[in-house]
Amino acid sequence: MAEAKKSAKQGRQSLVATLAALDQRLSNRLYLSCQGVPRWTYKLLEYGGDGVVWVLVTFTALFLPSTPAASRLAWANLLLGLLLDLVLVGTLKGLFQRTRPVYNHKADFIVVVAVDHFSFPSGHSARASFVAVFVLACLAQLPGWLRLIALAWAVTTALSRAAMGRHYLGDVLAGLLVGVLNVAILTRVRVGVRYGWMMGVEKGALGLLHKVVGMSC
């Protein structure tokens, strides 16, 4: 019995090691094939998916006096999702503690918190995925071309993380899934806004947002 358990454990470890090696090999090929792309394009996408930037912009939009009450409700839920994103990604990075690729350019890499040293999952991919799915699933009033741009931006941002050497492809894929999970959670717990201010958390599937700003969740 003990031998069977030991053998099964070794089999799982061997599978994980094989998948990790494949992930590293494919990621390295992508990185090498994209060396001709100007690095400033990657940096632009990096700043566009930065968590601090998104939280600051969303917080500002939420509390600007000129922001309509209906829009403020949407901004509040977006902020809630962004904060949840930081918690989910930070927790997973701390649990897995996967090191970043050895070819990651550390000279232009900014570490905000300790877990930023780790690679799995990709926070930028998770954030881009969350924002894109939030737009696609919850902002039904937006034109189709804007929704398409949001999706293209998320995919491009995610792939750029591996192309510029910040992450492995496995980190990027996991990040995209975390973003989708984030929206799934957000559609069950949403922020309610009254008189232009956040007043608490309400249960439901964003039904009020559907009425106020055309959200379909």
* Per-residue model confidence as pLDDT tens digits over 109-167: 777 777 888 999 999 999 999 999 988 876 767 788 888 899 999 999 999 999 999 99
Cα–Cα distance measured from residue 160 to residue 157, given in angstroms and rounded to the nearest whole number: 5
Cα–Cα distance measured from residue 92 to residue 123, given in angstroms and rounded to the nearest whole number: 10
Catalytic residue, candidates 105, 117, 167, 210 = 167
Catalytic residue, candidates 105, 117, 124, 210 = 124
Is the confidence at residue 196, as pLDDT, over 70? no
Verify whether residue 167 is a known catalytic residue: yes
Verify whether residue 117 is a known catalytic residue: no
Cα–Cα distance measured from residue 93 to residue 116, given in angstroms and rounded to the nearest whole number: 8
Q: What is the mean pLDDT of the chain?
A: 82
Residue 125's pLDDT is 97
Is the confidence at residue 94, as pLDDT, over 70? yes
